[in-house]
Amino acid sequence: MAVVKALSKAPCDVTLVDRRNHHLFQPLLYEVATAALSPGQIAVALRHVFRDQENASIVLGEVTGVDLEQRRVLVGDENLPFDHLVLATGSTHHYFGNDGWEPHAPGLKSIEDALEIRSRFLVTFERADRTASAQERARLMTVVIVGGGPTGVELAGTMSEVARRVLQGEFRQLDTSSLRIVLVEGAQRLLPVLPPGLGSRTQRDLEELDVEVLLDTRVTDIDANGVGLDSGARIEAANVVWAAGVCGAPVEQGLTDFARKDRRLEVQPDLSLAGHPDVFAIGDLAHVESGGKQVPGLAPAALQMGRYVGRMLARELKGRPRADRSPFVYRDKGTLATIGRGRAVAHIGRAEFGGVVAWLLWAFVHIWFLVGFRSRIMVLLDWAFAYATFDRGARLITGDPFSGEVPGGRSDRA
């Protein structure tokens, strides 16, 4: 989207291809998964965004391949020719060779993922309220989150608050505050991308919210009823959420020569593919180094790459020589992670801080980056209401709660 906007006044026709008709603001997906926001508040139709950009066209379709020699993109049965191509397919869940875990431990990358996690989470309370087995209730009332990065931390803190504040008193036979949340992280501290002090503060905040934090611990098995750990221990759990890693989501056909082991595409300093100066990879799909360090897979980095490529192409289309390309330089504007109500950590420049100030800054930044005035107002009002009342209005269970598939593979159908 940043590329398309940067080309709004360039002498070219721009075609944006996506297999979904909407742009999704992924940093707030966990808010949908924990019943704080509805999908429409963090997603906007692509045709609506670009309705006034006359040189932009939208194609709803799935790209199945790229023919670099013939300069065309394969979209189903259709071939779209290109003069310049920008690949921004993002990332997907990475189970480190254990793809069989995915049905039991969904990740969080799409609206469908968020709704699945939300339904599994809410259904467990319904079932725990009705079961007569103490052992089964304990399993239903256990959540394991694998991965102590921003997504895992945000989910753990918010789920704890939902159980202890939002749902309290709504069930007649169940104390929702008895929910057990276990956060498993393979590294020796939480939020490894942040300074150690902020990781320690995050752990203290989570433990104050009754989240169990297991560091230097790896998951060795995940099935319908729980997880196994490298210590030999096992945690019986109805809900497991995967937040431990991502990998690139490239178009397989035609691009394998540029793919790394993590499925990201290797790019040149100007974000183009080697030998193909008019083909670019940006965002989470690209393995990019700037200033001797790998550029993190964060939304601000993706936006910077998109603006860089879009503006560079706009200049070249107006006659600037290709030889004048300067390398992409990532400007780290800081990292924020929220833990719960009034709790967050921030690393901006040399400053490290947390608490309410960090939380307010996190809220402001995320509202600012939302696409569309309507989305910003709706999210701001919902957050203000939730802060004042401890209520969450998106507690809908979607799908079939009696299918036996949500959660834990066990059916309670009479």
The percent of residues above 90 in pLDDT, for the chain, comes to: 80
> Tell me, what amino acid is at 405?
E
Confidence of residue 403 (pLDDT cuts 50, 70, 90): low
Reported as a single tens digit per residue, the pLDDT across 347-377 is: 999 999 999 999 999 999 999 989 888 899 9
Look up the pTM and report it: 0.91
Q: What is the pLDDT of residue 214?
A: 98
Tokens found for residue 181: 């949340």
Are 345 and 288 in contact by the 8 Å Cβ rule? The answer is: no
- In angstroms, the CA 365 to CA 369 distance is 6
- 396 pLDDT above the threshold of 90: no
Reported as a single tens digit per residue, the pLDDT across 230-252 is: 999 999 999 999 999 889 988 87
Q: What is the pLDDT of residue 386?
A: 84
Q: Which helix (H) or strand (E) holds 195?
A: none
Average pLDDT for residues 51-68, to the nearest whole number? 96
- 320 pLDDT above the threshold of 60: yes
Confidence of residue 414 (pLDDT cuts 50, 70, 90): very low
Reported as a single tens digit per residue, the pLDDT across 64-110 is: 999 999 999 999 889 999 999 999 999 998 999 899 999 999 999 99
Reported as a single tens digit per residue, the pLDDT across 151-202 is: 999 999 999 999 999 998 899 999 999 999 999 999 999 999 899 999 999 9
DSSP string, 206-261: HHHTTEEEE-S--EEEEETTEEEETTS-EEE-SEEEE-S-EEE---SBTTGGGB-T
Confidence of residue 410 (pLDDT cuts 50, 70, 90): very low
Q: What average pLDDT does the chain have?
A: 92
Active site residues: 154
Contacts of 140 (CB under 8 A, 6+ apart): 124, 125, 127, 128, 131, 238, 408
Helices (H), ranges, 169-219: 196-208
- In angstroms, the CA 150 to CA 157 distance is 11
- 144 pLDDT above the threshold of 80: yes
Reported as a single tens digit per residue, the pLDDT across 188-232 is: 999 998 999 999 999 999 999 999 999 999 999 999 999 999 999
- In angstroms, the CA 252 to CA 34 distance is 33
Q: Give long-range contacts, CB 8 A cutoff, 24+ apart: 106-111.
A: 106/241, 106/242, 107/241, 107/242, 107/243, 107/246, 108/29, 108/30, 108/33, 108/151, 108/155, 108/241, 108/242, 108/243, 109/26, 109/29, 109/246, 110/24, 110/29, 111/24, 111/29, 111/32, 111/39, 111/43
Structural domain spans, the chain: 2-19+61-94+247-324, 99-244
Tokens found for residue 405: 């598939």
Confidence of residue 409 (pLDDT cuts 50, 70, 90): very low
Reported as a single tens digit per residue, the pLDDT across 105-136 is: 999 999 999 999 999 999 999 999 999 999 99
2-19+61-94+247-324 classified as CATH 3.50.50.60:
yes
Q: What is the pLDDT of residue 413?
A: 36
By DSSP bridging, strand 335-340 and strand 234-236 are: unpaired
Are 385 and 41 in contact by the 8 Å Cβ rule? The answer is: no
By DSSP bridging, strand 239-242 and strand 142-146 are: parallel
- In angstroms, the CA 1 to CA 23 distance is 8
Q: How far are the Cα atoms of 93, 119, 160, 401 from residue 406, in angstroms, in the given order?
A: 20, 7, 20, 6
The percent of residues above 70 in pLDDT, for the chain, comes to: 97
99-244 classified as CATH 3.90.1150.10:
no
Distance of CA 251 to the CA centre of its chain: 20
Q: What is the pLDDT of residue 412?
A: 38
- In angstroms, the CA 233 to CA 156 distance is 21
Q: What is the pLDDT of residue 149?
A: 94
- 411 pLDDT above the threshold of 60: no
Average pLDDT for residues 133-141, to the nearest whole number? 96
Q: How far are the Cα atoms of 111, 175, 176, 212, 410 from residue 237, in angstroms, in the given order?
A: 23, 17, 15, 14, 12
> Is the torsion defined by CA of 190, 195, 196, 197 positive or negative?
negative
Average pLDDT for residues 265-270, to the nearest whole number? 96
Average pLDDT for residues 279-284, to the nearest whole number? 96
- In angstroms, the CA 82 to CA 72 distance is 6
